[in-house]
């Protein structure tokens, strides 16, 4: 349930930034924006600001902005309508949606590089039932210091070694437990796990 909520939050943020790009460009081009909607279906919240109705709808999988005169059935030739603008101006409005997504991605990567990646040590946390570590005798709190006689200090280093193995291979794990060094032969096991989007 928590993973689904996080997925909805991230999706909504991407949609919001995308539609805000269209909205920003439309306003800068003096195009009237009638609706700015996050989601589809029944409206659960709405507020009118400067002739635009901002709304949040029940179904969170999408969003849109509705510009005045953005289709030929409604177009009346007024200067504030979308179809009254030049092809270059209309193209700028369309392109600013994905452009804002690219700018957001650039900003996120900049933040990550500025503060650094979270460092995961090689200390064992949860032990999963039915897998080799528990069967071999490794327990929560053990600190893995070597895999197949190769020293490791982080979880990433450990993964790089183990991911090269195949199912049913055995790795030699050296751990520190209460200042005591212990050795374990751990059999690799493989398992398919479904992701939130349905892939495995």
Which residues carry out catalysis? 19
- The full length of the chain comes to 200
Q: How far is the C-alpha of 167 from the C-alpha of 191, rounded, in Å?
A: 9
CB contact at 8 A, 67 and 89: no
Q: How far is the C-alpha of 48 from the C-alpha of 105, rounded, in Å?
A: 30
Nearest to residue 152, comparing CAs of 130, 131, 175, 170? Answer: 175
> Structure tokens of 110?
């900049």
Taking each helix axis as running N to C, give the angle between helix 2-28 and helix 87-115, from 0 to 180 degrees, rounded to the nearest 10. 140
- Find all residues with CB under 8 Å of 129, minimum gap 6, and list them: none
SS3 185: strand
Q: Which residue has tokens 């199912």?
A: 167
Q: Which residue has tokens 């009118």?
A: 48
CB contact at 8 A, 196 and 185: no
């Amino acid at each position: 349930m928590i993973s689904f909520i996080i997925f909805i939050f991230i999706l909504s943020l991407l949609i919001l930034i995308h539609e805000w790009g269209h909205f920003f460009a439309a306003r800068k081009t003096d195009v009237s924006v009638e609706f700015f909607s996050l989601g589809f279906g029944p409206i659960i919240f709405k507020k009118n600001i400067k002739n635009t109705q901002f709304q949040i709808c029940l179904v969170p999988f999408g969003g849109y902005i509705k510009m005045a005169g953005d289709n030929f059935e409604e177009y009346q030739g007024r200067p504030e309508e979308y179809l009254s603008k030049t092809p270059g101006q209309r193209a700028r409005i369309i392109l600013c949606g994905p452009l804002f997504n690219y700018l957001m991605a650039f900003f996120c990567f900049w933040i990550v590089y500025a503060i650094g990646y979270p460092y995961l040590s090689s200390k064992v946390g949860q032990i999963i039932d039915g897998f080799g570590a528990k069967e071999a005798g490794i327990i929560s709190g053990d600190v893995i210091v070597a895999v197949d006689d190769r020293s490791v200090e982080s979880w990433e280093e450990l993964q790089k070694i183990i991911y090269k193995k195949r199912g049913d291979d055995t790795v030699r794990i050296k751990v520190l437990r209460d200042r005591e060094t212990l050795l374990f032969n751990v059999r690799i096991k493989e398992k398919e796990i479904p992701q939130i989007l349905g892939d495995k």
